[in-house]
Amino acid sequence: MKILITGAAGFIGSHTAEYFAQQGHTVYGLDNFSTYYDPILKRLNKADLEAKGVEFIEIDLMGDLDTHMPADFDLVFHFAAQPGISATTTLEEYVRNNIYATQRLLDWTKQYNPELKLFVNIATSSIYGKEATLPETAVPTPISFYGTTKLAGEQLVMGEQRTGKIKACSLRLYSVYGPRERPEKLYTKLIKSIFDGEPFPLFEGSERHSRSFTYVGDIVKAMAAVPGREEVLNGEIINIGSDYEYTTGEGIALIEKIIGKKAQLQKTPPRPGDQLRTTALIDKARKLLDYEPDTDFEEGLRAQVEWYRSKFLR
């Protein structure tokens, strides 16, 4: 198959691109290498992926796709987004990168990929709101710019599907962790702070927040199950995550155990828009994708610590 993966130099997109390339598919990775975090980290991912046969297209989705993009893809996996809940990211940036850019990609896809089997939108549990403990049929109530704009992007995709202009589905991911996790995310930031002997800023009360922490390799299993199921998935919205919950405090304790050193926790004011609890209800994923996350939480965190050692402590 010929597969396009947007945001392919990022955390989850890079793992997905790597998997499909290793399976012998023709994989194109699109990324704009934004400065949201140090682009050097994404260029390390790019080098790893190019060595495995992924061909990269460096372009912003709001740029001239007509001129610079190949066409006739079988599958599109749309990971590219303005990520996270950040006080320094403006609403305009979220709207541009999660709404306008998604529609630009949809317009290009419809024009240049008439035989597309499926457009796979990558969404988030932040769509559900303060407590993401709901099935896919629940009415979303997002509480952050990120969740709100990701919901809008999802609805743009599914609107095109509902009007018969494209075949599409949306996968809502839950609290993904593992090797290549972004530097501002919980575990990479925690691991770095412990190794560097620096204070780790912990949002007040967040140690009690519970999450369906999901190892990136288990997320890739869901992506890997898409080829061959395009007709079944068309029109569906599906939760993808682990159905085991752990508190942030439990995760911190495991990282301390793995590294053998305590974190210097520094309490900071609560973060607006943060979720209190997420629980991935994945019955639908089990039914439609034969999806079964099976990575033990500690095992996954050990893999992330070892990745960090190999990349940044040599």
Could you tell me the residue ranges of all domains in the chain? Answer: 2-174+216-241+281-294
Which residue numbers in the chain have pLDDT < 70? none
Return the pLDDT at 204.
87
Return the pLDDT at 87.
75
Return the pLDDT at 78.
98
Return the pLDDT at 244.
95
Secondary structure of residue 11 in the 3-state scheme:
helix
Spatial separation of the C-alpha atoms in residues 240 and 220, rounded to whole Å = 10
Q: Which amino acid is at 57?
A: I
Q: Are 191 and 259 in contact (CB under 8 A)?
A: yes
DSSP codes, 198-251: -EEEEETTGGG-EE--EEHHHHHHHHHT-TT-HHHHTT-EEEES-S--EEHHHH
Specify the CATH superfamily of domain 2-174+216-241+281-294.
Answer: NAD(P)-binding Rossmann-like Domain (3.40.50.720)
Return the pLDDT at 269.
87
The yes-or-no answer on residue 308 being catalytic is no
Distances (CA, A) of 110 to 65, 107, 267: 12, 5, 48
* Cα 100 to the center of its chain, rounded Å: 19
- Our CA dihedral for 221, 94, 149, 169, rounded to 10 degrees, sits at -30
**Whose CA is closest to 86, among 78, 73, 97?**
97
Q: Which amino acid is at 92?
A: E
Per-residue pLDDT tens digits for 66-101 = 999 999 999 999 999 999 887 789 999 999 999 999
φ, ψ (nearest 5 deg) of residue 5: -125, 115
From the candidates 28, 94, 128, 146, give the one annotated as an active-site residue. 146
